[in-house]
Structure 1
Amino acid sequence: MNRNIFALQRIARRTFSSSGRRLENHVPQKQKRFQENDGMPIHLKGGVSDSLLYRATMGITVLGGAYVVYELVKWGCPKKA
């Protein structure tokens, strides 16, 4: 019984302590890119994906604001019967 538990502990320790492939640390390159002063806003320094997310967010915000104004005008000026 104890032998099985020790074997399971050894396998679990080996599984979590070593990996089959080594991962490269990309943090220093990203820190360098995000900290350089090139006049670009920080929320767009991530590349094309950041630009697309920013534009989608701004588009949804503008459309939502326009819809709110439309509804307020519609409620403020009811149709005459």
Structure 2
Amino acid sequence: MLEHIRDEKAKLISKGKIKKDKNESMIYRRDNSYYEKCGSKILCIDEEIPFEIPNDWGWIRLGKLTYNHGQKNQIVIFVI
């Protein structure tokens, strides 16, 4: 599902309907740790992950799925 969202977003950017997010991030798991890639920076975010989720689920920042209406950027949610 996250890949589908990224693909759709890329299509809208290429058509000029939306602008590219300068702070786009991607959370992934490697070597039993969670990392977030923001531009060229890669940070370990293990301390932000509150619990384990199934392998076919993923973590994403809430602000990457919706507009920011005052929520804190540290909120991380999971989607299927």
TM-score by length of 1: 0.20
TM-score by length of 2: 0.20
Asked which structure has the greater RCO (Cα within 8 Å, sep 6+), the reply is: 2
Larger helix fraction of residues: 1
Larger radius of gyration: 1
